[in-house]
Structure 1
């Protein structure tokens, strides 16, 4: 039986669910680099005047747009505002975005840029296979208590796993702040319950 640390109870991996749809960058507007339109999110989140223009293929039902989409990872502002405004986290950047759908423009969205990478997989307890220098297949994750104990909490509330950068981890504090808004389209899996099949769930 795997000997988990307390961190495997405290951290969750971020995924979309069946209500989320893929979104695309609007390449025509993107080529202009900047888009100066009205925007509904506080100015402190706007960096260099840049706003992400996105296109949604279809909503999750009727004309309702989900609160989370992948690639780029986009949140509705209503579910992420507490996180974005309450916490100053290194390597986590919130970029204003809007979504085009059926001729309408929905201004209240944010794209998450995540540069915070932490090497904290307990290699003795995790189950993984290194295929090459750049590719690692992870079957079961156990986080290293020793490594995470040495990092201040505010510096590890949200991070990518250095050993597998496609995996995004959020602390219970962040998950609770998001989930209190009853978001649609987002799914969190506790590290302790995670398996490789979750990536396809």
Structure 2
């Protein structure tokens, strides 16, 4: 359980989660590959475009963090992460378009540090690990795997299983200190499949 207290899962909070955003038809085609576990820099030639499809349409204003196919973050959020010089993390400028308003200062964050690091003895699942046929109910990280990965390559990474986005406590502290909006944080050891719906848990640091 060495790392269960050091890593946080990022999710939308109830404010940003009240809206659903998705890519527009004229968004750069390369951004269809945001789920890739390798760089997509050569595929992305232009800006992304996102529209709001659900929520209080009359009062929408972007938050610093939204989840779509991947993570959509503001320039403020990006500036917090840049000093960490994160390998395996790229940002692609994306416009949020809503009615007659366009916000240019957002980015799709593509994380292609991708690891299978759940501890199969301590984590709890519904199903079987055979053929990856399971739902993860409680998560514990495998220190034997993470110890072999340099810290700079695991400050921010994606988990092969859900929940997906994991951030080291040093990065989370920087984000919290910057008061970014729209995002919730929960320590790995506090997470369970039921806590997905409990925003109060996400505030502990």
Specify the TM-score bucket, using the shorter chain as the normaliser. 0.7 to 0.9
CA deviation digits over 1:103-135, x for unaligned, max 9?
A: 111010011112221122111111123456243
Corresponding position of 2:151: 153
1 CA distance for matches of 2:75 and 2:143?
33
State the number of aligned residues. Answer: 182
8 Å CA contact 1:79, 1:179 repeated in 2: no
Task: Report the CA distance between 1:61 and its aligned residue.
Answer: 8.5
Distance 1:136 1:101, change over 3 A: same
Give secondary structure in 1 for the equivalent of 2:107: strand
Q: Which has the larger radius of gyration?
A: 1
Corresponding position of 1:9: 5
Corresponding position of 1:115: 112
Matched, 1:92 2:93: no
8 Å CA contact 1:80, 1:178 repeated in 2: no
1 CA distance for matches of 2:58 and 2:180?
14
Distance 1:60 1:79, change over 3 A: farther
- The residue correspondences of 1:105-144 to structure 2 (distance < 5 A) are 105-131=102-128, 133-144=131-142
Give secondary structure in 2 for the equivalent of 1:133: helix
- Match 1:196 to one of 179, 184, 193: 193
Q: For structure 1, which runs of at least 5 residues remain unmatched after alignment?
A: 35-45
Task: Report the CA distance between 1:139 and its aligned residue.
Answer: 1.4
- Match 1:104 to one of 89, 101, 111: 101
Distance 1:12 1:25, change over 3 A: same
1 CA distance for matches of 2:29 and 2:123?
42
Distance 1:33 1:129, change over 3 A: closer
Distance 1:128 1:54, change over 3 A: same
Give secondary structure in 2 for the equivalent of 1:120: coil
Distance 1:165 1:114, change over 3 A: farther
